[in-house]
Amino acid sequence: MPALAQSPDAPAEALPTIPVAGEPAAAPSTAAPREESGALAEVIVTARKREERLQDVPVSVQAFSSEQLDARGVQSIRDLAEAVPGMQVTDLGGYNLIYLRGVGTDVFIPSAEPSIATYVDGVYFPSGHSLAQAFGAVERVEVLKGPQGTLFGRNSTGGAVSVWSKNPGQTPETSVQLSYGNYKDAQARVYTNLPLSNALAVSLSGFYNRRDSYYRVDNGSNEQLPPEIGRGGRLKIGVEFSEDLNLVVTGIYARQSGTSTTVSANVNPTPLLGITLPAEIRDYVTTANSEPSLSTITRALYGQLNWHLSGVDTKLLGSYYFVKAFDYVYDFDGTSQPIATYGADDEYQRFVTSELQFTSNADSWGSSWLKWVGGLYYLRSDGGYKPGYLRLLDAVQLPTTEQIGALPLGLGDLVLSLLGNSPIPQDLTFYFTGLLKTEAYSGYAQATASLTSWLDLTLGGRWQRESRKLVTSDVSDGNLNGGLTRLYSFPQEESTARNFSPKVSLDWRPAQDLLIYASFQQGFKSGTYNIINIFKAPTYVEPEKVTAYEVGLKSEWFNHSLRFNTALFENDIHNLQTGFMSFTSGGAINLENAGKARIRGLEVEALWQPLPELDPGLLLGGNLSWLHAVYLDYDDGRGFGELTGLAYKSDCSNPGSPACHPFSGNQIVRTPKLSSTLTLSQSFELGQGTLELAGDWYTNSGYYYLAQNTPDTFEPAYQIFNAHLSYLYQPYGLKLTVYGDNLGDERYNLAQFHTDFGREDSLAPPRTWGLRLNWDF
């Protein structure tokens, strides 16, 4: 069935481009299988929208199969950070903030979309709240490093993460996973594939996760934090209309509730606030008076119509994606005092996309030396807050109309007349309604020509036009009548940006199993508006552009028992988009451009089977990333004064003035200079099964959370050690695993949140352990 498993006439290399796809089932390589006893497993990736061996792709990619993800306990994008050096995933207010090779986004609002494009089955999932953060049952995950502007389009200036699930097929199969660990961590996952006829197949997957919070509340209220609960499902339907025409349709629904990183503790109050409030020094204890919470709902529907013709494969793609966050409460000051609370009653994003794609196949002209892909793409989206809020001084109750009217000497009548007889505010709560609409068009093409048997040239480019419109930006307060009184509205704003992102790559194969490549490419991140505006009008944030240069080597040695890959690169960033959280500088969140930045780095990856004959089950692996990431031109940024803790905006028009606080030369936020992973696994046959013992060690040199690079904004170096022991009983397809994560019980943060009130920390999970059962039949 071509829709479900590729037909002999369909090229195995033809794969969909964004935004949607039912990806063809991973086909085996067309090359002869290796027979050497020391051969490492082949890895098939789709970094160039074609199925290719990882070692044949002139792009920096790390790929993980479903078995590798399970073995390492990777359940979400957040967990990938320990497996991919150079990738940093922090969390803030329930948003996953992803940095890759020093490029990322540090703002947690819908209008500041990530710089690392995330896809599930080719569908663009741009929200940090979305289902893309929880993988469920998948076939593989690919992490593409560096700008991917030509094939992946907008908002991929740092790279892309592609999550692929299985397509329905003609082979019935079912997979069940159950696990239980400390903190009452219970997880269940099921996947099944059902062929209903020769022309119709259906697959269904679902998951349910529940875990108690790592934190406890100590604010005198006897409250308990809710558990983290996630559940969802995915339905895929594959239909074959003819040998050359087929359709795959997918529906996804997921819901998450709990606290995520809305729970935190103020560990370093500002000098003014610290006079009356002590720092919280206890691990996993919060004194927040506003009970933290966050719930999200994700819905997606997407489809791919495939039409195989002689000389070209045509795909028609379409998707609808919606994510909503509600019951969103974050204690903005992080203390037991009722000072400030940030939240949202309705925060959402909605995307509609379509694409027409053309791909060369085996019957195309020049197919022996030329491969190409191209298409047209359209996106429409809207999203924002309806509304969000910032509440100050919870305990302060403003006087009622009757109380004001009762003031003596006619003062009450005077005050009421000055207020224009409008409803009296109930408290000091500011409600902000900010909605942003986007419309984007693009066209793209990329071709690879084999100039000789050992030299390939790739040329590509993507042109795009995007318009952003701030349709609503209102500020209101809650009145005693139970409604909202609009205080003022900021004017609507609209902007249009055009961009062309080129790519050039030269691939040289001087010997078998040796690839040397050099590439030049650019990426484009959309300009936008801040949709949280309380005291100042929104301004347009210019698009971010990244120009990347890279040289790399991919190789295998010693009868395919050693795989060694390395890359040396430079990213030049213009108009780096960055954020700053402060109540006193215009509202809860500021969004601005940081001028120019530069990132230079080196990556090394190795996988070694040291004793292929004596001990073929022994594998050693290692990855390393070194980054030198600095701001080159950032003299007008925002920071907090070390003596007062109050926010400032640097003004270096007079370089010698006290108002000048240049950040040029400082290290880019959320970017460690050094991160590395070492892995070791030993497996051997035991009875009718296989026993495996494995461990991995991750180290991070530390990084800053604010561009001002002061000591209190630094996350110190930390190390994490994970291990597992598993036994696979072959006759029944049963695998039992005992696992332990963060066995050293290391203390490090998923988030530092710096505000006018101090530094709030959200700690990463402590030592966790459990038992996991997999059953495949």
252-310: pLDDT as tens digits: 999 999 998 889 999 998 887 666 778 899 999 999 888 899 999 999 999 999 999 99
Nearest to 181 by CA among 749, 737, 774: 737
State how far the Cα of 373 lies from the Cα of 363, in Å rounded to an integer: 14
- Could you list the residue range(s) of the whole structural domain that residue 545 is in? 44-776
pLDDT tens, 205-263?
999 999 999 999 998 887 889 999 999 999 999 999 999 999 999 999 999 999 988 89
How far is residue 604's CA from residue 85's CA, in Å, rounded to a whole number? 9
Residue 17 maps to a domain? no
Q: Does any domain span residue 26?
A: no
The pLDDT of residue 381 is 94
Nearest to 203 by CA among 230, 228, 227, 170: 170
Considering only 169-173, 402-406, 420-424, 607-611, which range has the smallest mean pLDDT?
420-424
Whether 12 is covered by a domain: the verdict is no
Give the CA radius of gyration of the chain.
Answer: 27
For residue 298 the two structure tokens come to: 């994700």
Ramachandran sector of residue 136 (left: φ over 0; alpha: ψ -120 to 50; beta: rest): left
Within-domain flag for 22: no
DSSP symbol at 85: T
Mean pLDDT of the chain: 86
Alpha-carbon distance 569 to 548, whole Å? 7
CA distance 126 to 124: 6
- Residue 629 clears pLDDT 90, i.e. is over it: yes
**Is residue 58 reached through a cis peptide bond, with omega within 30 degrees of 0 on the bond before it?**
no
Q: pLDDT category, 409, cuts 50, 70, 90?
A: low
**Can you give the pLDDT at residue 316?**
92
* Confidence band for 14, pLDDT divided at 50, 70 and 90: very low
Identity of residue 230: G
* Domain assignment of residue 8, yes or no: no
For position 227, what pLDDT does the model report?
Answer: 95
468 band by pLDDT with thresholds 50, 70 and 90: very high
pLDDT tens column, 643-672? 778 888 898 888 888 889 999 999 999 999
Percent with pLDDT over 90 in the chain: 58
Task: Indicate left, alpha or beta for 500 from its phi (over 0: left) and psi (-120 to 50: alpha).
Answer: beta
| More confident call, 684 vs 585 | 684
- Assign 318 a pLDDT band (cuts: 50, 70, 90): very high
The answer, yes or no, to whether residue 613 has pLDDT greater than 60, is yes
Give the contacts of 466 (CB within 8 A, at least 6 positions apart).
154, 438, 439, 440, 441, 496, 497, 498, 499, 526, 527
Q: Round to whole Å and give the CA distance between 459 and 520.
A: 10
Choice between 48 and 6, residue whose per-residue pLDDT is larger: 48
pLDDT at position 745 is 97
**Nearest in space to 3 (alpha carbons), one of 244, 250, 317:** 244
The CA distance from 579 to 108, in Å, is: 9
Question: Phi first, then psi: what are they for 16, rounded to 5°?
Answer: -75, 155
Rounded to an integer, what distance in angstroms lies between the CA atom of residue 295 and that of residue 293? 7
C-alpha–C-alpha distance, residues 121 and 133, integer Å: 14
Q: What share of the chain is helix, strand, coil (3-state, %, to 5)?
A: 5, 55, 40
Which 3 state secondary structure label does DSSP give 723? strand
Burial of 212 (0-12, 13-18, 19+ CB in 10 A): middle
Residue of 202 and 537 predicted with greater confidence: 202
Distance, in Å, from the CA atom of 605 to the CA atom of 567, rounded to the nearest integer, reads 9
Q: Contact, 431 vs 476, CB < 8 A? A: yes
User: For residue 397, what are its two tokens?
Assistant: 């109750």
Give the residue from 717, 719, 724, 714 showing the smallest Cα distance to 746: 719
Predicted pLDDT at 43? 80
Closest CA to 111 of 414, 499, 540, 503: 540
The C-alpha atoms of residue 762 and residue 772 are separated, in whole angstroms, by 27
Do residues 167 and 248 make contact, with C-beta atoms less than 8 angstroms apart?
yes
Is residue 184 packed enough to be buried (19+ CB in 10 Å), middle (13-18) or exposed (0-12)?
Answer: exposed
User: Is the previous residue joined to 19 through a cis bond, with omega within 30 degrees of 0?
Assistant: yes
For the record, the structure tokens of 695 come out as 């461990």
Of 304, 371, 318, residue with least CA distance to 14: 371
CA distance linking residue 261 with residue 294, whole number of Å: 9
Residue 531 CB-half CA count within 13 A: 31
Instruction: Return the pLDDT at 394.
Output: 67
Q: What is the pLDDT of residues 365-391, one digit of tens each?
A: 999 999 999 999 999 999 999 888 888
Residue 36 confidence (pLDDT): 43
Residue-by-residue DSSP string for 644-687: T--EEE---SSTTSTT----TTPBPTT--SEEEEEEEEEEEEET
Does 129 have pLDDT greater than 80? no
Q: How many CB atoms lie within 10 A of CB 72?
A: 21
Which pLDDT belongs to residue 274?
Answer: 64
Q: pLDDT at position 336, please?
A: 84
User: How many residues in the chain?
Assistant: 777
Share of the chain above pLDDT 70, in %: 88
Angle in degrees, CA 17, 19, 25, rounded to 5 = 55
Residue 665 belongs to a domain with what CATH number? 2.40.170.20
- pLDDT tens, position by position, 677-723: 999 999 999 999 999 999 999 999 999 999 999 999 999 999 999 99
- Contact (CB, 8 A) for 553 and 516: yes
In a domain, 36, yes or no: no
pLDDT, tens digit, 9 for 90 and up, residues 39-97: 587 888 888 888 888 899 999 999 988 888 887 878 778 888 888 989 998 877 777 88
Nearest-angstrom CA–CA distance, 200 and 191 = 17
Residue 177 lies in a domain: yes
Q: Is residue 225 part of a domain?
A: yes
Kindly tell me if the per-residue pLDDT of 515 is higher than 80. Answer: yes
pLDDT at 248: 94
When divided into structural domains, the chain yields a total of 1
d(CA 341, CA 225): 17
pLDDT of residue 204: 95
pLDDT at 26: 38
> Which amino acid, 603?
E
Residue 420 clears pLDDT 80, i.e. is over it? no
Mean pLDDT for the stretch of residues 131-135: 55
For residue 534, what are the CA distances in angstroms to 100, 364, 385, 475, 756? 32, 58, 13, 6, 16
Identify the CA nearest to 145 among candidates 526, 602, 697.
602
* For residue 330, pLDDT beyond 60: yes
Across 76-80, 361-365, 628-632, least confident range: 76-80
Which one-letter DSSP state was computed for residue 24?
A: P
Residues 328, 424: Cα–Cα separation, whole Å: 26
133 has pLDDT over 60: no
Which pLDDT score is estimated for 478?
A: 75
pLDDT higher than threshold 80 for residue 134: no
Pick from 262, 261, 260, 266: nearest CA to 287: 266
